[in-house]
């Protein structure tokens, strides 16, 4: 009689889980697995790789062998969940194995990086529940956060012991290449940053030493160093020995340099805190696989704002890269390591390498999945070597960040000695006014001046040292991934803000020359981020992809128009992701700014010719509006998988909502636009304007002059026209401040100043202040003449900025012309009557007017939004010139009735009686159906009410 092997049971178990909708199973496993020995059974559960390790009960030590194998697969990084199964021996003789297995109980143990559940007896349904519980635990149990907390304590103790020693701080800063700020407040932050980062780098080396000691007898474990009399000196000597004899320069060289620059009287108790932290981290190796050191570094770098370096969170990086490198979207044989050697991924502002680590994880996932599907042996060591030595490229101006990138990459396979790493620390500033990665715009190798004269050089991290080399241009890339610096040329002129003023000005001049010479499609008003996008485009292959973390202003900001134009001309945007989670609008650490994740495929060559992949350039753009921003890498993996499994409905032709769930919890909604549609829009805000697809779809039709309510097939026409057809907007606040100042006495220049929600509750307002013309220019500013500014004073004011969670009105009317500081004055054309003015104010404060306005906003931080003049000029509003006299009269009468009635703040608009009257009047005058449902939906938008959608 045929007796079945354990591999057959593993395959059938995978099939049974698949049949229950629990896991995805590669076709090759079910096709080939029953006929031959399979090296691994890897299935996918909520975006995680699950390894099934089965033994039959009649095998000696079956339980121990299965559990050890599951643990080993986790340690190797092949799987994120290991399942050890011991099958009853009676299954070997079953005539119908799959049916018998479905009816059997067996022993099950589940292993994750944060917990291990010992053997329990159960059936397939029990295993389904166990996997669900394991996933939920991984999502809730952030092992990186726990490890980071332990590490923080040790680093803080160490930092406190060196902060009061200026000589030590100066030496440590020089070792780390940290720039000393010029003003006193920033110098104080710099001192703390230097101490913190020094502690982190030293601890990082200790962690690596302890891990190496497990496999290399030449490396001492930490307790052996602790037993020496001169602990710090012993560490320094031992790390030098490792550098010279074993080749782990990226980790130990800079750490040793920090040690030798500590004072001889260093507090040993504080230093011991670093050793204790390192030992605790080694006990939690899972955290190291998730870029623990990078996350801690992000929090410690107090100088971040001067370089504009807001570092990507690990969950956001995981989500972005898992989507950008989805295996099916590339014509790459992922299981073929020789083919993979020619694949290129780069981050031109890599920081500690969070995005590069996420890319490495996604590539490893593709390799493991396709290798298993092909029935081949997984060679993780060779994979890591290919990734580190060939695929991954990183550039940054902070040597300490590059050090941590190198060490985190090496930590993936500490037993391997890499011959080279394509990680380069670039100069910034200095005598040559170097611009970091921006120098890659130059046609020749870039130059900077040192004490020996002009040389072309940089520091490249290798396995054995930091070589001074001619800085090579980045290779042609398959994927360019970046969270580039955010600094802008406005609001204090923060471009290169970490440099001394004179040097900064020279660098800014050099930047402008470079941008003009190369006709770069980017605006410095948007910031360095726009320039980095243009540089990434220069090095991206046709058919390659760019994956970006940028301010949400990218999709709507006027200053980002050139960047959108670049994407329109050469790319197809594939995915837009924004957070509609009121608890976290951002995807970067240490900021609360609203951000967007963007993935686009290059479909045009540099000469403007179509590449082979342009056939799909008329494809769809999927917008994911997250209701819950992923808090762990595991949750991000589940979101990525959920999106891949969905086919989001088209905004124009589809129906209903495409909901994404992680377990039983809804985490967002996805909607699709055609690229042709989005490419023809000046602003790309609409797909990401609201959390609820019903509102996005309603506004989509509204912008075309049609009111289409959720659940109704018919539409009703509304006559809209761009605001610029009705009048002229006034000057912005800078111009007003350049010509006037506030005074206490009454003058010829009336003003409406501020937008206090308690003071501005009604549609009708009156003068609040008066202005006097300046006699001379303010320091550093031009002098504007009153005869230039005052003719643009207006009776109608439109909000220039809003706090949606507190304010009440978006447009107001006064009895006389005024200038304003946080409002745009608006002067209607002569043919617009006073009654028509009132109608315009009623429209703008109606739900329909507010929806259109919010779909054209610039979002800074969740509810904090603003409206630029070009956006307002293009804003579709009710065409008051095309209304019948009776319509105008009826709506003007409603204004007269309600203009002094207080409106409630936007979050309670659903129950606001005045707003309901405005909407009802609009509906009656324009012969529209009752659209109060839109007001109710808008009231519960997180950006309005600051509450998460359930």
Residue-wise pLDDT for 77-122, tens only, equals 888 889 999 999 998 888 888 899 999 999 999 998 777 888 989 8
Both tokens of 748, joined, read 């010829």
What's the burial of 333, exposed, middle or buried (CB within 10 Å: 0-12/13-18/19+)? middle
What's the burial of 680, exposed, middle or buried (CB within 10 Å: 0-12/13-18/19+)? exposed
As a whole number of angstroms, the distance between CA 533 and CA 391 comes to 20
Burial profile 774-794: b = 16 or more Cβ within 10 angstroms, e = fewer: beeeeeeeeebebeebbebbb
Both tokens of 929, joined, read 């159906």
Quote the pLDDT of residue 41: 79
* pLDDT tens digits, 389-437: 999 999 988 777 787 888 888 878 877 877 788 888 887 777 777 777 8
DSSP string, 483-508: ------SSTTT-TTTTS-HHHHHHHH
**Going by DSSP bridges, is the β-strand pair 571-579/620-626 parallel, antiparallel, or unpaired?**
parallel
Residue indicated by tokens 């519960």? 940
Contact 650, 621 (CB under 8 A): no
Bridge partners (DSSP) listed for residue 626: 579, 668
As a whole number of angstroms, the distance between CA 81 and CA 77 comes to 10
Q: Which of 81, 89, 196, 101 is nearest to 148 (CA)?
A: 196
3 state SS of 129: helix
378 φ, ψ (degrees, to nearest 5): -80, 125
Q: Which of 551, 540, 545 is nearest to 574 (CA)?
A: 545
Both tokens of 872, joined, read 């307002």
DSSP 8-state code for residue 312: B
Instruction: Give, in degrees to the nearest 5, the angle at Cα 93 between 92 and 98.
Output: 70
Quote the pLDDT of residue 56: 92
* pLDDT tens digits, 657-702: 999 998 889 999 999 999 999 999 999 999 999 999 999 999 999 9
Quote the pLDDT of residue 875: 97
796 φ, ψ (degrees, to nearest 5): -100, 135
Instruction: Give, in degrees to the nearest 5, the angle at Cα 635 between 631 and 641.
Output: 145
Burial profile 57-94: b = 16 or more Cβ within 10 angstroms, e = fewer: eeeeebbeebbebbbebbeebbbbbbbbbbbbeebbeb
What's the burial of 32, exposed, middle or buried (CB within 10 Å: 0-12/13-18/19+)? middle
* pLDDT > 90: percent of the chain: 55
DSSP 8-state code for residue 557: -
What residue segments make up the domains of the chain, in order of their start?
Answer: 6-141, 145-300, 304-617, 618-714, 720-945
As a whole number of angstroms, the distance between CA 694 and CA 669 comes to 10
What's the burial of 423, exposed, middle or buried (CB within 10 Å: 0-12/13-18/19+)? buried
The dotted CATH code for 304-617 is 3.40.50.150
Q: Characterise 353 by phi-psi region: left (phi > 0), alpha (psi -120 to 50), beta (else).
A: left
Q: Which of 560, 551, 556 is nearest to 525 (CA)?
A: 560
The distance of Cα 763 from the centroid of its chain, to the nearest Å, equals 39
Both tokens of 82, joined, read 């290991």
Question: What is the domain class of 720-945 according to CATH?
Answer: alpha beta
320 φ, ψ (degrees, to nearest 5): -60, -45
- Beta-strand (E) ranges in 322-452? 345-347, 392-396, 420-425, 428-429, 434-435, 448-450
Find the distance separating the first CA and the last CA of the chain, reported in whole Å: 57
Quote the pLDDT of residue 871: 95
Quote the pLDDT of residue 439: 84
Quote the pLDDT of residue 459: 56
Quote the pLDDT of residue 2: 54
Pseudo-torsion of CA 550, 553, 557, 559, nearest 10°? Answer: -40
Contact 881, 920 (CB under 8 A): no
As a whole number of angstroms, the distance between CA 738 and CA 421 comes to 53
As a whole number of angstroms, the distance between CA 631 and CA 628 comes to 9
As a whole number of angstroms, the distance between CA 164 and CA 423 comes to 34
As a whole number of angstroms, the distance between CA 751 and CA 794 comes to 10
Quote the pLDDT of residue 188: 83
Sign of the alpha-carbon dihedral angle for 309, 313, 316, 322:
positive
As a whole number of angstroms, the distance between CA 931 and CA 718 comes to 13
The set of long-range contacts for 713-716, using a CB threshold of 8 Å and a minimum separation of 24, is 716/926, 716/927, 716/928, 716/929
Contact 497, 504 (CB under 8 A): yes
pLDDT along the chain (950 residues), means of 10: 71 86 66 45 84 91 92 84 92 88 91 83 87 77 69 87 91 84 77 89 89 88 92 94 83 90 82 89 68 63 46 90 96 94 95 91 91 83 93 87 83 78 81 78 53 37 54 88 72 55 77 83 85 93 97 94 96 98 92 94 74 58 97 88 92 93 92 97 97 98 96 90 98 94 97 96 98 94 95 97 97 98 97 98 99 97 96 97 98 98 98 98 97 98 95
Q: Which of 490, 469, 613, 616 is nearest to 553 (CA)?
A: 490
Quote the pLDDT of residue 73: 85
As a whole number of angstroms, the distance between CA 684 and CA 855 comes to 9
């Amino acid at each position: 009689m045929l007796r079945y092997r354990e591999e057959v049971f593993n395959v059938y178990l995978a099939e049974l889980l698949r049949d229950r909708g629990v896991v995805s199973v590669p076709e090759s496993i079910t096709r080939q697995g029953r006929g031959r020995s399979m090296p691994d059974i890897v299935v996918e559960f909520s975006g995680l790789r699950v390894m099934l390790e089965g033994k039959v009960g009649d095998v000696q030590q079956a339980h121990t062998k299965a559990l050890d194998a599951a643990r080993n697969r986790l340690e190797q990084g092949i799987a994120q969940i290991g399942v050890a199964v011991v099958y009853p021996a009676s299954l070997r003789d079953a005539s119908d194995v799959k049916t018998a297995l479905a009816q059997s109980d067996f022993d099950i143990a589940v292993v994750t990086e944060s917990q291990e559940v010992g053997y329990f007896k159960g059936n397939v349904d029990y295993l389904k529940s166990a996997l669900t519980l394991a996933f939920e635990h991984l999502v809730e149990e952030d092992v990186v956060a726990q490890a980071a907390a332990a590490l923080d304590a040790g680093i803080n103790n160490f930092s406190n012991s060196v902060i009061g020693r200026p000589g030590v701080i100066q030496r440590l800063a020089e070792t780390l290449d940290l720039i000393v700020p010029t003003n006193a407040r920033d110098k104080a932050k710099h001192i703390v940053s230097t101490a913190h980062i020094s502690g982190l780098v030293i601890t990082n080396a200790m962690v690596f030493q302890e891990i190496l000691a497990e496999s290399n007898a030449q490396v001492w474990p930490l307790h052996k160093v602790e037993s020496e009399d001169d602990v710090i000196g012993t560490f320094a000597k031992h790390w030098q020995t490792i550098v010279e004899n074993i080749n782990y320069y990226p980790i130990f060289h800079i750490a040793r340099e920090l040690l030798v620059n500590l004072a001889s009287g260093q507090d040993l108790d504080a230093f011991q805190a670093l050793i204790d932290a390192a030992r605790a981290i080694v006990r939690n190796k899972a955290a190291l696989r998730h870029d623990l050191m990078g996350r801690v570094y992000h929090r410690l770098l107090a100088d971040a704002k001067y370089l504009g370096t807001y570092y990507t969170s690990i969950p956001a990086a995981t989500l972005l890269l898992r989507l950008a490198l989805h295996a099916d979207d590339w014509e790459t044989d992922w299981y073929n390591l020789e083919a993979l050697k020619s694949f290129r991924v780069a981050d031109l502002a890599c920081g500690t390498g969070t995005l590069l680590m996420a890319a490495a994880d996604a590539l490893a996932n593709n390799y493991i999945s396709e290798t298993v599907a092909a029935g081949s042996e997984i060679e993780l060591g060779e994979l890591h070597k290919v990734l580190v030595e060939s695929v991954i490229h990183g550039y940054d101006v902070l040597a300490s960040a590059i050090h941590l990138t190198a060490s985190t990459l090496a930590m993936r396979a500490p037993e391997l000695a890499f011959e080279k790493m394509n990680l380069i620390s670039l100069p910034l500033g200095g005598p040559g006014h170097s611009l970091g990665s921006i120098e890659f715009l130059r046609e020749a190798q870039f130059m900077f001046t040192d004490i020996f004269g002009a040389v072309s050089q940089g520091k490249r991290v290798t396995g054995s040292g930091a070589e001074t080399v001619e800085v090579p241009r980045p290779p042609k890339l398959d994927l360019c991934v970046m969270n580039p610096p955010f600094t802008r040329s406005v609001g204090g002129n923060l471009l290169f803000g970490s440099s001394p003023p004179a040097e900064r000005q020279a660098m800014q001049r050099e930047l402008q020359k470079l941008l003009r010479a190369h006709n770069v499609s980017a605006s410095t008003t948007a910031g360095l981020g726009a320039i980095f996008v243009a540089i990434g485009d220069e090095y991206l292959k046709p058919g390659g992809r760019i994956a970006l973390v940028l301010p949400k202003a990218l999709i709507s900001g006027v200053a980002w128009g050139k960047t959108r134009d670049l994407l329109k001309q050469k790319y197809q945007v594939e995915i837009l992701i924004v957070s509609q989670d009121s608890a976290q609008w951002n995807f970067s650490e240490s900021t609360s700014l609203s951000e967007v994740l963007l993935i686009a495929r290059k479909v045009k060559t540099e000469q403007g010719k179509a590449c082979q992949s342009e056939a799909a350039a008329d494809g769809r753009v999927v917008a994911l509006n997250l209701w819950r921003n992923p808090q762990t890498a595991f949750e991000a993996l589940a979101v990525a998988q959920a999106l891949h499994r969905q086919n989001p409905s088209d905004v124009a032709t589809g129906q209903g909502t495409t909901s994404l769930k992680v377990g039983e919890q809804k985490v967002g909604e996805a909607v699709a636009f055609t690229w042709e549609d989005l490419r023809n829009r000046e602003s790309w805000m609409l797909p990401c304007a609201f959390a609820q697809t019903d509102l996005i779809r309603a506004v989509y039709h509204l912008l075309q002059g049609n009111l289409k309510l959720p659940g109704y097939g018919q539409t009703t026409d509304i006559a809209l026209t761009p605001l610029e057809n009705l009048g002229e907007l006034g000057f912005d606040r800078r111009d007003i401040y350049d010509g006037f100042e506030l005074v206490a006495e009454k003058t010829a220049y009336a003003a409406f100043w501020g937008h206090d929600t308690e003071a501005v509750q009604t549609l009708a307002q009156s003068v609040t202040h008066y202005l006097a013309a300046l006699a001379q220019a303010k320091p550093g500013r031009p002098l504007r003449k009153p005869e230039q500014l005052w003719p643009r004073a207006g009776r109608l004011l439109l909000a220039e900025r809003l706090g949606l969670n507190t304010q009440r009105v978006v447009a107001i009317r006064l009895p006389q012309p005024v200038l304003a500081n946080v409002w745009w004055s608006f002067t209607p054309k002569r043919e617009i009557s006073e009654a028509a003015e009132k109608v315009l104010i009623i429209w703008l404060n109606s739900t329909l007017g507010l929806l259109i306005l919010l779909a054209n906003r610039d979002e800074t931080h969740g509810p904090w939004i603003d409206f630029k003049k070009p956006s307002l000029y293009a804003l579709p509003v009710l065409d008051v010139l095309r209304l019948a006299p009776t319509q105008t009269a009826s709506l003007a009468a409603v204004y007269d009735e309600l203009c002094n009635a207080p409106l409630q703040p936007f979050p309670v608009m659903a129950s606001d009686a005045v707003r309901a009257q405005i909407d009802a009047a609009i509906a009656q005058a324009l012969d529209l159906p009752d659209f109060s449902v839109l007001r109710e939906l808008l009231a519960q938008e997180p950006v309005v009410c600051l509450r998460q959608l359930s």
